[in-house]
Structure 1
Amino acid sequence: MPVNDPLAHGEDAFDDATRLARENPSLDVGCHLVLVGSPGFPDTVSQLIAAVRKMPVYDLLSAQVRKILDAGIVPTHLDTHKHTHLLPPVLEAVARISEEYKIPWVRRPFDFPMEAGGIGWKKRAVSQAFHVVRGRFERVLAKHACRSTDHFAGFQMTGNYDAAYLERLIHELPEGSTEFMCHPGICTDELRAARTRLKESREAELRALTAPSVRRALEHENVRLTGYRELTPPPATSR
């Protein structure tokens, strides 16, 4: 299960984040590419869908990667805010950037099935809808020699889990590598004023992720926390 921290180029705390990344060189740092919900971009995914084919997507995302590289940080992986690389024009740009900038790992945001638990039906429906584009998504990644983990988890759980739920996830993990998406943090006044729905839930996630019972579950299930740099590359895929 990879342990990493995505870095968004446009955040107000960018300089502080890059400083922390340099002070912790063993931590894998990814590039969290943004096309929605930030100044200068559409506010919602629906608005992005309507506008994306008229946007210089590659140039916008490439500039974000270059900003991180210019700060002395070499990302190990790419993902996108709101998983917008599920949209074909964005996916093509992200896969091209992965290949050209030699940032091999790209998030494959398809949750593996779990029992519904406390997850709302809308979140489950959106997660299941993602799978409609999975075949094309994986073909584009293969064309550009991108790598991704075998599995992904966390979309349905975002902002809605405790230690017990996380223990159940660990118990149900399939064989292979799994990226677990999470948003731990401290809910400061600055965060409360930010344009995000994930506020108090970040502290709940932090408590769950650091719970001794979760550590014991990892040990019991022989799950090893790792980083992208440590993962064995998957077999090469012919184009």
Structure 2
Amino acid sequence: MAPGVNDAIRQLILNGRLNATSVMMPAAYIGADEVDALEMLNAGTTRAAIGLHVTLTAPFKPMSNGFAPLRGGAFPPINDMMRLAMTRRLDIELLTIEIATQLQAFLSAFGHMPDFVDGHQHVHLLPQVRNAFLRVVSEIAPNAWVRQCGRVRAGRALHDPKSLVLDVLSLGFKSQAARHGLTTNPAFAGAYAFTPKARFSRIFPRFLRGLPDGGLIMCHPGFVDSALQSLDPVTTLREHEFAFFNSDAFLHVLAESGVTLAQPSGEARGAA
């Protein structure tokens, strides 16, 4: 998304604090130098699975010609995409072409298919979008696993409306992915309210409750720079996440919970 985000993610992978990251091909900051720097982290020893972060929301722009609808030449904001998807007003063929274009761009940049495929702002879970998303992945990258966002029972806080929506959307997504022969991560955690009062070091331990082997925890570490500020409202919280993951406190939380990061294999499976 931005140079500061890229830098933070690479540092955490190098330090053994992350074992997966996904790439936004429509973003301006995934040129050849960034690709090489990320790939070098896996030279000799695979430190991280590398996936495609399918991007279909503003302020990013389509990579394919003729995509619609647009808002000022860019994808619609996520709330607009949700309304369009829920009322079945998206064009599945145009979605299919755009997602396939992003997947082919990943292949051209990295020289291999992604280990997994997910979606920016969870757009891949939406009705209509998931039809196109799962069709493209199953046809072009069938060995990639795809991210579902359903929590385990122990991690379901009923006062968290965002996560409840993700739970519901993931039910249909998982069953549809299975029909396409695609693997999904067995559980998901990491969603929280991006408010100034959020204390990530206090929030993180609850993500581990009941998480099974292969469970996935989403995170958003990064360093704030002008590029990030122009593209995304989540800024300083990214630095809080980076600080926690780069600290001894993170290692202590993992040890207390009996959790370790899974060794990335590049196979179609999730990573804890």
Q: Which bracket does the TM-score occupy, shorter chain normalised?
A: 0.7 to 0.9
Q: Distance in 2 between matches of 1:126 and 1:180?
A: 15
Partner SS, residue 32 of structure 1: strand
Aligned to 1:108: 148
Q: What is the aligned partner in structure 2 of residue 137 from structure 1?
A: 173
* Shift of residue 56, structure 1, vs aligned partner: 0.5
SS in structure 2 of the partner of residue 109 of structure 1: coil
**Matched residue SS, 2:50:** strand
Picking from 50, 65, 78, the partner of 1:45 is 78
Contact 1:153 1:180 in 2 (8 A): yes
The partner residue of 1:5 within 21, 38, 42 is 21
The answer to whether the aligner puts 1:225 opposite 2:261 as a matched pair is yes
Describe the shift of the 1:46–1:233 C-alpha distance in structure 2 as closer, same or farther (beyond 3 A).
Answer: closer
Q: Does 1:176 align with 2:213?
A: yes
SS at match of 2:228: helix
Counterpart position of 2:7: none
Q: 1:77 and 1:157, CA in 2 relative to 1: closer, same or farther beyond 3 A?
A: farther
Residue 165 in structure 1 maps to residue 211 in structure 2: no
Shift of 1:227: 4.9
Which of 110, 113, 124 does residue 85 from structure 1 map onto? 124
- Between the aligned partners of 1:36 and 1:227, the Cα distance in structure 2 is 32
Which of residues 54, 69, 76 is equivalent to 2:107? Answer: 69
Contact 1:152–1:178 (CA under 8 A) maintained in structure 2 = yes
Of 182, 186, 189, the residue aligned with 1:150 is 186
Deviations 1:110-162 (A, max 9, x none): 2345475xx9x5xx112212333333212211011111111101122556342
Range that drifts further, 94-103 or 137-146: 94-103
Deviates more, 1:33-42 or 1:221-230: 221-230
Query: What RMSD in Å do the two structures reach over aligned CA positions?
Result: 2.7
Measured in 1, the distance between the counterparts of 2:57 and 2:151 equals 22
| Structure 2 CA distance for aligned equivalents of residues 114 and 5 of structure 1 | 23
8 A contact 2:144–2:268 mirrored in 1: no
Report what 1:185 is aligned to: 222
Question: TM-score if structure 1 supplies the norm length?
Answer: 0.83
Secondary structure class of the residue paired with 2:238: helix
Which residue identity lines up with residue 10 of structure 1 in the other structure? P
Contact 1:21 1:73 in 2 (8 A): no
Q: TM-score, normalised by structure 2?
A: 0.74
User: Match of 2:217, as an amino acid?
Assistant: F
Instruction: Confirm or deny: 8 A CA contact 2:49 2:266 kept in the other structure.
Output: no
Count of matched residue positions in the alignment of Structure 1 and Structure 2: 227
For 1:5-57, what per-residue CA distance to the aligned partner results, in whole angstroms no more than 9, with x for missing partners? 11000111111331222212222111000111113443312322425236610
Query: Quick check: 1:57 aligned with 2:95?
Result: yes
Tell me, which stretches of 5 or more residues in structure 1 are unaligned?
A: 235-239
Is the CA contact (8 Å cut-off) linking 1:208 and 1:214 kept in structure 2? yes
- Alpha-carbon offset, residue 168 of structure 1: 3.9
Per the TM alignment, residue 92 of structure 1 is displaced from its structure 2 partner at its CA by 1.5
